Amino acid sequence: MREAAQHCRGCDLWKNATQAVFGEGKPGAEVMLVGEQPGDQEDLQGRPFVGPAGKLLDRALEAAGIDRDDVYVTNVVKHFKWEPRGKRRIHKKPSAMEIAACRPWFDEEVRVVKPSVIVCMGATAAQALLGRNFKVTQERGKVISREGIRFVATVHPSSILRAPDDQTRHAEMAHFIEDLRVVAGQISGHRKAA
């Protein structure tokens, strides 16, 4: 699938991206972490969550007691959508059509990985998977069961990086870790039931 995704022409995002960035992680992972789309570093390296938001995610997972080696990380959109700002490539939100064009790739990842918990990080991922009216601000950290999979929505780590000051950033990080502890509780609960 990873190789096939490199030839995807379901929308026009491939034209300005370096490559498709497919998910990666433990085969059969209980937890799948899902973001919006690859960022600049992810597009260049071809791996999800390796840039600044990925480093913050790694710290939060560790604080919540989740080993990144035990999860699968991916995005609902596989190509980086961006606009130039000087010499930098700045993230641009994908459209509903672009998200829909990538949905078969994501659905296939879920089919192969078979996670018991999917963590939707950010509004784009949550609305793509839980409905366009879903509000992360109202439902974050809650366990929602659908079709045999438990979902937990939270903020995207990049939103923490964009916090206006250190105090807000620290509070948002603590809240993010608490959301991930809910996920950790779902994993241990799942293991006890098995």
Across the range 44-50, mean pLDDT stands at: 97
- Mind listing the pLDDT tens digit for each residue in 135-147? 999 999 999 999 8
Across the range 150-171, mean pLDDT stands at: 97
Which residue is listed with tokens 């999917």? 118
pLDDT: which is higher, 58 or 188: 58
Tokens of 170: 């620290």
pLDDT at 193: 42
DSSP 164: S
Cα dist from 62 to 9, 140, 152, 180, whole Å: 37, 19, 18, 10
Across the range 132-136, mean pLDDT stands at: 96
Residue 70 has, within 13 A of its CA and on its CB side, a CA count of: 13
- Delineate the domains of the chain, giving CATH numbers in brackets: 2-189 (3.40.470.10)
pLDDT at 2: 86
Across the range 52-63, mean pLDDT stands at: 97
pLDDT at 17: 95
SS3 state of residue 5: helix
| Mean pLDDT over each residue of the chain, to the nearest integer | 94
Which residue is listed with tokens 């293991």? 191
Distance (Å, whole) CA 69 – CA 24? 10
Across the range 80-89, mean pLDDT stands at: 94
Residue partners of 35: CB distance under 8 A and separation at least 6? 48, 49, 53, 73, 74, 75, 76, 121, 122, 125, 156, 157
pLDDT at 27: 84
Q: pTM for the full model?
A: 0.94
Across the range 15-31, mean pLDDT stands at: 94
